Amino acid sequence: MVAANQVYHSKVVHAIQAMAMFEAKKAVKRQLQAERKKISWYLPRDITIMANALLEERWDQFIAKAKASAVVQEVREECERRERRRLERKSKHSIYGSPQLTRVSVERISCSQRGIDDQRLRQGIH
């Protein structure tokens, strides 16, 4: 499971927020269908308002589902891949020589160190 105070890159935060909202909207639509109501009876903004309320109620559940999604994993991997490439390019063009960049040192300086923690992630949802 993900640590409670883990730090995320801003692109990963955006992906988590988008996936959490997507899951909340799906849950609202399933709830309306269970009540035998048609989704077309509701404006999209009303569904979004209901999804925001549901997201506030069950924040942990939706965020956990979003963090586990394949989309977020893909964004996180892409971010880490770009950061490794950036560090490799930076080390090749260093004016003080070309220090060897090991895999361990690249992982220590990952994109998550420039990121956003869980607390700020929660504040980003409206």
The whole-number pLDDT of residue 103 equals 47
Is 2 inside a domain boundary?
no
In-domain check, residue 50: yes
Give the residue, 122 or 74, on which the prediction is more confident.
Answer: 74
Residue 1 lies in a domain: no
> What pLDDT shows up at residue 124?
64
Q: Per-residue confidence at 2, pLDDT binned at 50, 70, 90? A: very low
- Residue 105: its pLDDT value, please? 47
**pLDDT at residue 42 greater than cutoff 70:** yes
The string of DSSP codes covering 59-107 is: HHHHHHHHHHSHHHHHHHHHHHHHHHHHHHHHHHT-TT------HHHHH
Inside any domain, residue 80: yes
| Residue that wins the pLDDT comparison between 5 and 54 | 54
Segments forming the whole domain that contains residue 88: 7-123
